[in-house]
Homo-oligomer: A and B are copies of this chain.
Amino acid sequence: MRELEEKIREYGTVLPGNVLKVDAFLNHQVDPQLMLHVGQEFAKLFADEGVTKIWTVESSGIAPAVMTGLAMNVPVIFARKHKSLTLNQNMYVADVYSYTKKTTNRISISKKYVSPDDKVLMIDDFLANGQAVEGMLEIADQAGVDVAGAGIVIEKSFQPGAKELRDRGIRLESLARIKSLKDNQIEFMPD
């Protein structure tokens, strides 16, 4: 997505440890028009999948997920993230390891808002090691719902998450794909 790549080139900064900082428009300050276009793009890509619900994980996934929900006219659920959470019969839960923060969070979705007829599109801001999407897939499995795929704003293609999801047969659509952040240079995957 050209508009997104331009934003990344203009405002993204590379930090040590292959971190791409995009808090100018995505995960601290948010550009609402860009998020709308991101949502519209996901809606177009997944238009034929019969999506009934958007899932994401708080907090940075919420803006693109809500815009996707708006464009597709379906509800959005943001999974809550907890440092600790007692297992609860009203919740689906999965553990998600963060390589950046080196901590495990438990994510949860209330069973009340999951129907066996759901077909879920998972949205997230970043895909690196794929832990957040894996956690949502685990919940989808527990709940027995269909998965339309995953829509990612920025994929770090040089990290293992994207390949692992595609190898599992998950339809993955990433609006920007970063090939490398070597030498503080942002290099995109060729189209």
Contact in complex: B67, A30 (CB < 8 Å): no
For chain A residues 29-57, which have a beta carbon within 8 Å of chain B?
29-33, 35-36
> Nearest chain B CB to A25's CB is how many angstroms away?
8
A69 at interface (Cβ–Cβ under 8 A)? yes
Interface flags, A79-120, vs B, CB<8A=1, else 0: 010010000000000000000000000000110110000000
Q: How far is the CA of A59 from the CA of B46 in the complex (A)?
A: 26
Chain copies in complex: 2
Q: How far is the CA of A83 from the CA of B83 in the complex (A)?
A: 10
Give the dominant DSSP class at A's interface.
mixed
Q: How far is the CA of A110 from the CA of B110 in the complex (A)?
A: 33
Q: Which residues of B contact A67 (CB under 8 A)?
A: 32, 66
Q: Which residues of B contact A80 (CB under 8 A)?
A: 28, 59
- Given A24-B113, A66-B66, A110-B23, answer yes or no on A77-B32 (Cβ-Cβ < 8 Å): no
A153 at interface (Cβ–Cβ under 8 A)? no
Q: How far is the CA of A113 from the CA of B30 in the complex (A)?
A: 10
Contact in complex: A30, B69 (CB < 8 Å): yes
A70 at interface (Cβ–Cβ under 8 A)? yes
A22 at interface (Cβ–Cβ under 8 A)? no
The residue from B63, B75, B113 contacting A66, defined by CB atoms under 8 A apart: B63
Q: Can you name 13 A-B residue pairings with CB atoms under 8 Å?
A: A23-B110, A23-B113, A24-B112, A28-B109, A28-B113, A29-B77, A30-B66, A31-B75, A58-B58, A59-B80, A63-B63, A66-B66, A66-B67
